[in-house]
Amino acid sequence: MCPHERGEDPGAASRTAVRLCGLADGTVVCDALDRALERVEEEFLCASGERWGGVWRGIPVAALLDRPDVDVDPAATHVRVAADEYAVCVPIRTALGGVLAVEREGEPLPPARRPRFVAPVDAGRTVRGVRELRFLRLGPGEEPRDYEELGY
């Protein structure tokens, strides 16, 4: 659970924190990294059936690993990207090519949808309201889908 979810910081409700765990350790407050935002153009079909696209701005997932306050085990093979009741498990290479978007078409995403994991993934595999990136090492016989909560 992120510190703002435990109620430790009264001003945290307006910030967007993402916890890194599993084979990683750290918490990133996305709103504090405004200078690190990267622009990407991506379109995808959401699990809701809506098509989303356009210009997104967000923090590159790869940039999170370069922070001195974040430690990630190099043995990680997958990342479980999770919101409150939705999670996907993607290869680490896919995750590192994505961003945690805080804006779309120049407008901030609503707090409940921020940040949104945006990457070149199949339909229904982006995640809005990301709260956790769990770095995993899956063995050859393990299925990434066993770590997902897709709600359908």
8 Å CB contact between 3 and 12: yes
Mean pLDDT of 83-89: 92
What is the torsional sign of CA 121, 85, 63, 135? negative
Mean pLDDT value across the chain: 81
Domain ranges of the chain: 3-147
Under a CB-based contact definition with an 8 Å cutoff, are residues 144 and 78 in contact?
Answer: yes
CATH code: domain 3-147 is 3.90.420.10
Cα–Cα distances in Å, from 53 out to 46, 69, 97, 124, 129? 10, 32, 17, 13, 17
Which of the four pLDDT bands, split at 50, 70 and 90, describes residue 83? very high
Would you state the pLDDT for residue 33? 56
* Continuous H helices in the chain: 61-64, 92-96
pTM of the model: 0.81
Helix (H, G, I), strand (E, B) or coil at 14: helix
* pLDDT level of residue 137 (50, 70, 90 thresholds): very high
At residue 64, φ and ψ (nearest 5 deg) are -65, -30
Is the pLDDT at 136 greater than 80? The verdict is yes
Spatial separation of the C-alpha atoms in residues 50 and 59, rounded to whole Å: 24
